[in-house]
Amino acid sequence: MRVLIAGGGTGGHIMPALAIAQALRQKYQAELLFVGTPRGLESRLVPQAGHRLELIQVGQFNHVSLTTRLRTLFDLPASLLHCRKLLKQFRPEVVISVGGYASGPATIAAILARIPTLAVEPNAYPGMANRLVGKHVSAAAVNFEPAIRYFRNAQVTGIPVRAEFFRLQMRPADAPSHLLVFGGSQGARALNRAMPPIVARLLGAVPGLTILHQAGARHAEETQAAYAATGADPARWQVHAFLDDMPRRFEAADLILSRSGASTVAEEMAAGKPALLVPFPGAADDHQRKNAEVMVQANAARMLIESEMAPERLLETLVSLFKDRMALRQMGENARKLAHPDAAEKIADMVARLAASNQPTGSEYQDRRV
């Protein structure tokens, strides 16, 4: 089985794609080709994982300047022709769109060539590329139920998450409270600025509480200095630029204060951890807010809008959550119910069914790609 996987840009797109690729290789011995752009994380991560990668030139169109939009429109015909050439050379039986810049041209070329297509959507509200092709793809694998209506033949499969997140031990009921502040690998400036002004009062209001804060490499020194300037007990807080072994960090937390990108939320669900989510307001189409709303509706998280996150409100919300350990535990259990431990295998099976349902003869195959 030959499968072309198109898209990337951010970790939220490319990490699930790599997990799906691994499942396709292990279960179906699939031959794989990735299509991405030079600026996306795929340019580094896909070759590192041992996969072949073809790069096309295509840029952003949504929430960018008129100049960038015009450049993207100018590049689009060439990117479509490039993808058409790749389809004729590689002859995939299925094309997977994981969202991101490269997914649009590759998926459109596949639809025009009548090659079966599968959209993989990690967010509750699809990105622009997947919205454009959603009603024309053969099927879709989505992470959140609200995304179903944007696609044909959609199934809620979840998105792949490292197996370690599903094997975490439950925190002892009598263990001191622990807060993990996680702004993603680059950190979150809003969280870095919001926590220091309240840290001393938060530690005073929640006896025994400890805090671990990932601030990102660019902001770690500044954030650590801001914590230190408050006079809060340094034995009860730590600020790091980057944290390794994230499953272990999640396991130690009673509550996670984080953004609500698809990968972060999926890891919180897999770990069964309650979260206080602060959506990134600059996310395309406000998709982080929509991800958070799904979690809130399931009573698996609380949400604070960044523009409304005054110090007093953040402090009040955190204290109230830590004061009710039973409610936190219930939120964690609700989060775990939303998780999908077999997401990669389910998506791989969908790909295999698409390939099996549309096996042309040799002459028909050539006709489709002329």
Q: What is the DSSP string of 220-235?
A: HHHHHHHHHHTT--GG
Question: Mean pLDDT over residues 269-288, rounded?
Answer: 93
Q: What is the pLDDT of residue 279?
A: 96
Residue 59 pLDDT > 60: no
Question: Mean pLDDT over residues 358-370, rounded?
Answer: 50
Question: Mean pLDDT over residues 115-128, rounded?
Answer: 92
Percent of the chain with pLDDT over 90: 73
- Neighbouring CB atoms inside 10 A of 83's CB total 27
pLDDT in tens, 304-349: 999 999 999 999 999 999 999 999 999 999 999 999 999 999 999 9
Residue 73 pLDDT > 60: no
What type of residue sits at position 109? A
Return the domain boundaries, the chain: 2-161+341-368, 164-337
Name the residue among 48, 50, 16 with its Cα closest to residue 32.
50
Question: Mean pLDDT over residues 121-139, rounded?
Answer: 90
Residue 65 pLDDT > 60: no
SS3 label, residue 168: coil
Supply the mean pLDDT for the chain.
90
Residue 217 pLDDT > 90: no
- Angle between helices 196-205 and 220-229 in degrees, nearest 10: 50
Name the residue among 291, 2, 40 with its Cα closest to residue 159.
291
- Angle between helices 262-271 and 287-297 in degrees, nearest 10: 20
Please state the φ and ψ torsions of residue 291, each to the nearest 5 degrees. -60, -45
Residue 212 pLDDT > 90: yes
Integer Cα distance of 257 and 188 in angstroms: 11
**CATH class of the 2-161+341-368 domain in this structure:** alpha beta
**Burial bucket for residue 194 (CB in 10 Å: 0-12, 13-18, 19+):** buried
Please state the φ and ψ torsions of residue 115, each to the nearest 5 degrees. -95, 135
Residue 41 pLDDT > 60: yes
CATH 3.40.50.2000 fits 164-337, yes or no: yes
Find the helix or strand (DSSP H, E) in which 357 lies. helix 343-357
Q: Do domains 2-161+341-368 and 164-337 have the same CATH topology?
A: yes
**Burial bucket for residue 326 (CB in 10 Å: 0-12, 13-18, 19+):** exposed
Question: Mean pLDDT over residues 149-171, rounded?
Answer: 94
